[in-house]
Amino acid sequence: MSDWLSFKTVVQGSVVFICLLLVGAYVIYQARFLIVGPQIALSQELPWRHNERQVTLSGTATNISHLWLNGRQIFTDPSGQFAAAVILENGYTITTLKAEDRYGRVTTITRPFVYTPASFITVTD
């Protein structure tokens, strides 16, 4: 009879351990978004040199509470997609995308652009 009780105790202990292990793995899996922090991904890398004054930055932002482009707040759709236009100044312009999550962690992407009007571009053979 004592062998049966010890076997039963071992089985119950093993089941409880496995359940706790599964619950812990699930909690860690669900917490991955909190652990990673804010993420910004541009949908395409734009060339640095432009002869158009307006450039549109677009992409996806995840795990964020706020998103700014050059200090101006921009917004995402429910799936995290964003698109924002930047007006380039003559010469050199630096654009900064900044995302912050609800815990204050910040991610930044900086891209330089050079605006050269079409009248200043010369074609050489």
Indicate the fold that domain 37-120 takes in CATH. Immunoglobulin-like (2.60.40)
38-52 in b/e form (b: 16+ CB < 10 A) is bebeeeeebeeebee
Residue 81: the pLDDT is 96
**Residue pLDDT, tens place only, 26-69:** 988 887 777 788 999 999 988 888 888 899 999 999 999 999 99
Side-chain-side CA neighbours of residue 102 (13 Å): 5
Q: For the residues 79-104, what does the mean pLDDT come to? A: 93
The whole model's pTM is what? 0.70
Res. 21: pLDDT tops 90: yes
Alpha-carbon torsion (35, 105, 38, 46), positive or negative: negative
Mean pLDDT, rounded, of the chain: 87
- What DSSP string describes 35-76? HH--EEEESSPPPSEESSSEEEEEEEEES-SEEEETTEEE--
Residue 91: the pLDDT is 86
Residue 32: the pLDDT is 75
Residue 36: the pLDDT is 82
Q: For the residues 11-31, what does the mean pLDDT come to? A: 88
Res. 1: pLDDT tops 70: no
Q: Dig out the tokens for 89 from the structure.
A: 């100044």
Q: Dig out the tokens for 118 from the structure.
A: 């079409």
